[in-house]
Amino acid sequence: MKPKILIIEDEPAILLALKDELSQTYYTLTASTGTDGLELAHKEEPQLILLDLILPDIDGFSICQQLKEKGIDAAIIMLTARDQVVDKVKGLELGADDYITKPFSLQELRARIKAVLRRKALMPVEEYKDDVLEINFKRYIAKRKNKILKLSYLEFKVLRFFVSRKEHIISRKELLEHVWGYQVVPSTRTVDAHIVSLRKKIGKKYITTIHGKGYKFGA
């Protein structure tokens, strides 16, 4: 079955070009307002959403947030204009998986879509539960001993990748590639910093350091 992609874009020419290009490979759906986009996302549960940042009714950031709150587990690639650099960080904090700056080549977009879908496929686990932790990766809700934990989107993604590959040793490079992935390439120190923070929040015992190799998740 073809993966389903929802394109939310208010500029008719871009919307049409994207649909034309992508419908050869993917099952594509389109919306030209945020409201329609959210409704379609809810009804159709696409694997990926191409989300224009500036829409006539709701801005892309709020849409991103609302998608997460509704538990819509789609990967999100934001389409932004060249000068929206500050917004990039904000979007990543809100849970976008990648960015592409207009104008972009369709070839580049295809490559990004492929990469994001591949990364998403590596994180199939939707929930985790043991005596202490309870995590819903679709709704981004984490609890420790029934108390809500404040995890960032990236921490959720790191954890989801770990849980999806339980008992496997995961290198820092793998984490960078599959969790961060986007072009703002952080260093392996960023990975370590996230692990430290994650350990503090969920409890030390869950993530073990394997010297010289990386990390392993296991209760």
* Closest residue by Cα to residue 97 from 187, 29, 178: 178
Structure tokens at 112: 């990004």
58 lines the binding site for Ca ion (CB under 5 A): no
Closer CB to Ca ion, residue 53 or residue 94? 53
Residue 97 is a binding residue for Ca ion (CB under 5 A)? no
Q: How far is the CB of 54 from Ca ion (least distance, A)?
A: 4
132 part of the interface to Ca ion, by CB under 5 A? no
The single residue listed with the structure tokens 């350990």 is 199
Joined tokens for residue 22: 């992508």
Tokens found for residue 169: 């040793």
- Identified binder of Ca ion from the candidate list 23, 54, 57, 71, rule CB under 5 A: 54
Hey, which residues does 49 pair with through a beta bridge? 6, 76
Q: How many CA atoms lie within 13 A of 214 on its CB side?
A: 16
User: Taking the complex as a whole, how short is the minimal distance between the CB of residue 111 and Ca ion, in angstroms?
Assistant: 22
Least separation, in Å, of the C-beta of 13 and Ca ion?
11
Minimal CA–CA distance to 140: which of 117, 123, 121, 119?
123
Distance of closest approach, residue 56 Cβ to Ca ion, in angstroms = 8
Q: Would strands 141-144 and 133-136 be described as parallel, antiparallel, or unpaired? A: antiparallel
If one asks whether residue 52 binds Ca ion (CB under 5 A), the answer comes out as: yes
- 26-34, 50-58, 80-88, 193-201 -> range binding Ca ion (CB under 5 A): 50-58
Using the contact rule CB under 5 A, the part of the chain among 53-61, 96-104, 136-144, 167-175 near Ca ion is 53-61
Spatial contact of 24 and 3, defined as CB atoms under 8 Å apart:
no
The nearest distance, CB 218 to Ca ion, in angstroms, is 45
Q: What does the binding site for Ca ion look like in residue numbers (CB under 5 A)?
A: 10, 52, 54
